Amino acid sequence: MSDRIHSLSGYMYEYQKSVQDPESFWSRIADSFHWRKKWDKVVDWNFETPDVKWFVNGKLNITENILDRHLYTRGDQAAIIWEPNDPEEEHITLTYKELHAKVCQFANAIKAKGVGKGDRVIIYMPMVPEAAIAMLACARIGAIHSIVFAGFSANALSDRINDCKAKMVITADGNFRGNKQIPVKEVVDEALKNCDSVESTIVLKRTGQDIQMTSGLDIWWHDAIEGVSTENKAEEMDSEDMLFILYTSGSTGQPKGVVHTCGGYMIYTAYSFQNVFQYNQGDVYWCTADVGWITGHSYIVYGPLLAGATSIMFEGVPTFPDAGRFWAICDKHQVNQFYTAPTAIRALQAYGTEPIEPYKLDSLKVLGSVGEPINEEAWHWYHDHVGKGKCPIVDTWWQTETGGIMVSPLAGITPTKPAYATLPLPGIQLVILDNEGNELKGNSVEGNLCIKFPWPSMLRTTYGDHDRCKQTYFSTFPNHYFTGDGVKRDEDGYYRILGRVDDVINVSGHRMGTAEVENAINEHPKVIESAVVGYPHDIKGQGIYAFVICDMDGRTEEGLTKEIKETVNKIIGPIARPDKIQIVPGLPKTRSGKIMRRILRKIASGDGDNLGDISTLFNPEVVEAIKEGASH
Ligand code: WT7
């Protein structure tokens, strides 16, 4: 495709153009896609309400751009290569032609079950090709998919189903993860006890484990597609029709349904994919994320397939059957671009270089990182031992809400700098604001990362509650999108993300709201009050530390902490399980009753001797007791 940047001066030129005249810039990029009807206006926006529209009145179907458009040029090329959990099991290759047929067939199948344009469909699945097929089938008929990561609990799943009033759930019997077999359908059964909107579920047979099929509700995937045509005319969608909803945590207790729409998301994921990874035709690209997160949406499925790439999907975990699995897969499929998370790199780093040694890794050209700041040590290990010193690392900063990569080197084109996401992509107008909302201009400044101009793949609303979108992202700093991240622009103008400035923690690259974890902990009948903070964790980046006031009621501390962890497992899922729980006699509060998290964060980080003046607290005496009981 013609929108590739090839040099540093090319980047600077494109960036300037994108800021001076965004409309011509994006219009030129969008021109290379297939539109049923061209747009009337490139962008219409207002960050106050907020109201953002891209490619106004344009008509398209994103799957025509992913599938039909590629049929004649690369029909026999691999679109998806699926690598199973068990290395002994055969991998599966789906060419663009095959993927087209499977998507059309499944689209017809879900349509026959009564799902149509605008209906919401929940996808709760393991990392199998059918997860991508299900997403694209929804997009084909204009249904709005909402993927829920298969590690979430029944409770978290039913919350999401109910929030978007989903009509259908697409799932599987079970999930192979390492040497474990995880029940999936069972969780759906449990969730559906509390959901009225769901009319049918489709169940893929993956593990073959025993499950309950409810007649009139559940149907096997293979039965649903039996004899169904592999041709389907894509539904015509407006640019601003919803493509998907993806739930994400924030500083309040309830996850938000981030809404992305068809036209802008299509343009930006494809554009950013090609430029950041410098993908060349014929390359094999692998992103290790799960489709349950935004990274899986934008950079396993939509971005790469829009660009006509070959995208690997991996079912398993990095340490099964051993800590060399990632590298075995890179050699086996001759991976050229490899995109993973710092937490995975640190976990593998802990095994030393021995598991890497048997592998050549000579096909690798580009390494990527996403999800949290990558510390310098992990950056160098990744660079030296995985990339053998010859692959640029693209440290990509972005968010569920941004839809695509916002700040990152372009591989081999713009400079890299360890622990820096470096420079914004063309079209991305960053500003740094101080707490009063004044713009900090020039270099060597630090403050709140905001964006002052819309970009095509930005969120449009939070599902069912537009005011929440406004309050969360557009009210802290009027007329700006606020990311929630702190940032530094160094003396050379490069950006370094400093982490969240709100009550959100980042555990293994997954966003957790502290309030959400507290709500879950508080569900335990013996918990009186709790406060959750993040603390530095060697592998996860941040760990979850919970300070809890309990009515012990004859229980041991050990017994109670175990019960609390189980409660969190049940309410949210294992990803939110606290790493440390400390039972405390009280929580440090201001005179107005606000919990002083700053103090708890310091104690949790082992910096309890450095609390500063605490005499203004309502209950300063409690701090000593907490410090004494702290576990490190
Ligand atoms: C938050 C967004 C975007 C996909 C994965 C997470 C943090 C993300 C980086 C990076 C420093 C990063 C930010 C951001 N984050 N990438 N390269 N360097 N921090 O998506 O769950 O929406 O979380 O992840 O704090 O706000 P998410």
CA of 370 to the centre of ligand 1 (A): 7
User: Is the distance from the beta carbon of residue 497 to the nearest atom of ligand 1 less than 6 Å?
Assistant: yes
List the Cα angle 176/179/183 in 5-degree steps. 40
Residue 372, ligand 1, Cβ within 6 A: yes
Question: For the segment 459-514, what is each residue's pLDDT rounded down to a tens digit?
Answer: 999 999 999 999 999 999 999 999 999 999 999 999 999 999 998 999 999 999 99
How many whole angstroms from 386 Cα to the centroid of ligand 1?
22
List alpha helices for 143-184, DSSP H: 154-164
pLDDT digits (tens, 9 = 90+) for 298-341: 999 999 999 999 999 999 999 999 999 999 999 999 999 999 99
Q: Where are the domains of the chain?
A: 504-629
- Provide the token pair at 79: 């679109």
- The residue contributing the CA closest to ligand 1 atom 12 is 372
> How high does pLDDT run on average in the chain?
96
Give the C-alpha separation, 626 to 607, whole Å: 12
Closest atom of ligand 1 to 497 CA is 11
pLDDT at 606 (0 to 100): 93
As a whole number of angstroms, the distance between CA 30 and CA 263 comes to 9
Cβ–ligand 1 distance for 421 under 6 Å, the answer yes
Distance 275 CA to ligand 1 centre (A): 19
Distance CA 407, CA 403 (A): 12
Q: In angstroms, what is the span from residue 137 Cα to ligand 1's centroid?
A: 28
Q: How confident is the model at residue 615 (pLDDT cuts 50, 70, 90)?
A: confident
CA separation for the pair 569, 531 (Å, rounded):
17
Taking the C-alpha atoms of residue 185 and residue 170, their distance in angstroms, rounded to an integer, is: 10
396 lines ligand 1 (CB under 6 A): yes
DSSP tag of 278: T
Per-residue model confidence (pLDDT) at position 523: 96
CA distance 476 to 542: 25
**Ligand 1 centroid from CA 509, angstroms:** 7
> What's the gap in Å between 445 CA and the centre of ligand 1?
21
DSSP state at residue 297: I
Q: How far is the CA of 424 from the centre of ligand 1 (A)?
A: 15
Which value, to the nearest 10 degrees, does the dihedral of the CA atoms of residues 472, 476, 477, 479 take? 40
Whether 370 is in the pocket of ligand 1, judged by its Cβ within 6 Å, is yes
pLDDT more than 70, % of the chain: 100
* Whether CATH 3.30.300.30 fits 504-629: yes
CA distance 365 to 474: 39
Q: Torsion-angle region of residue 304: left (phi > 0), alpha (psi -120 to 50) or beta? A: alpha
Which tens digits make up the pLDDT trace of 21-63?
999 999 999 999 999 999 999 999 999 999 999 999 999 999 9
pLDDT at res. 2? 57
Give me ligand 1 centre to Cα 404, in Å.
11
Q: Does the C-beta of 371 come closer than 6 Å to ligand 1?
A: yes
Does residue 631 carry a pLDDT above 90?
Answer: no
| Cβ-based neighbours of 598, under 8 Å, separated by 6 or more | none
pTM of the predicted protein model: 0.96
Strands (E), 38-167: 41-46, 51-56, 59-60, 78-83, 92-95, 120-124, 144-147
| pLDDT over 90 at 632, yes or no | no
In tens, the pLDDT along 141-200 reads 999 999 999 999 999 999 999 999 999 999 999 999 999 999 999 999 999 999 999 999
Q: What is the pLDDT of residue 344?
A: 97
Ligand 1 center from residue 285 Cα (angstroms): 21
Ligand 1 contact via 397 beta carbon (within 6 Å) = yes
The string of DSSP letters for 325-368 reads: HHHHHHHHTT-SEEEE-HHHHHHHHTT-STTTTT---TT--EEE
User: Quick one: pLDDT at residue 224?
Assistant: 98
Task: Ligand 1, residue 401: give the atom nearest the CA.
Answer: 22
Which residue CA neighbors atom 17 of ligand 1 most closely? 397
User: For 76-95, what is each residue's pLDDT tens digit?
Assistant: 999 999 999 999 999 999 99
Reported as type and span, the H/E element at residue 427 is: none
Q: What is the pLDDT of residue 614?
A: 87
**Which tokens sit at 165?**
């009033």
H helical segments located in 193-293: 221-225, 262-277
Distance CA 25, CA 15 (A): 9
Q: Which ligand 1 atom is at minimum distance from the Cα of 509?
A: 6
Average pLDDT over residues 337-350: 97
Q: Is the pLDDT at 1 greater than 70, yes or no?
A: no
- 4 with 275: CB under 8 angstroms? yes
Ligand 1 atom, smallest distance to 400 CA: 22
Ligand 1 centroid to Cα of residue 372, in Å, is: 5
Give residue 218's region: left, alpha or beta (phi > 0; psi -120 to 50): beta
Instruction: Give the single-character DSSP code of 323.
Output: T
Please give the average per-residue pLDDT across 120-131, as a whole number: 98
**From 260, 370, 501, mutation site for ligand 1 pocket: most ligand atoms within 8 A of C-beta:** 370
Tell me which DSSP letter residue 65 carries.
I
Residue nearest to atom 18 of ligand 1 (CA): 373
**What distance in Å separates the CA atoms of residue 40 and residue 276, rounded to the nearest whole number?**
29
Q: Is 398 in the pocket of ligand 1 (CB under 6 A)?
A: yes
Ligand 1: which of 300, 398, 407, 430 to mutate, judged by most atoms within 8 Å of the beta carbon? 398
Strands 120-124 and 168-172: parallel
Cis peptide before 355 (omega within 30 of 0): no
Q: What is the mean pLDDT of residues 427-437?
A: 98
121, 427, 575, 593 from 246: Cα distances, Å:
11, 24, 17, 34
Q: For residue 376, how many other CB atoms are within 10 A of its CB?
A: 12
Residue 272 Cβ inside 6 Å of ligand 1? The answer reads no
DSSP class per residue in 358-415: T---TT--EEEEESSPPPHHHHHHIIIIISTT-S-EEEEB--TTT-S--B-PPTTTS-
Residues 505, 534 contacting (CB under 8 angstroms): yes
Contact 502, 83 (CB under 8 A): no
> Ligand 1 center to residue 452 CA distance, Å?
19
Query: Collapsing DSSP states into helix, strand and coil, what is residue 618?
Result: coil
Nearest to 542 by CA among 503, 588, 496: 503
For residue 548, the cross-strand partners are 530, 583
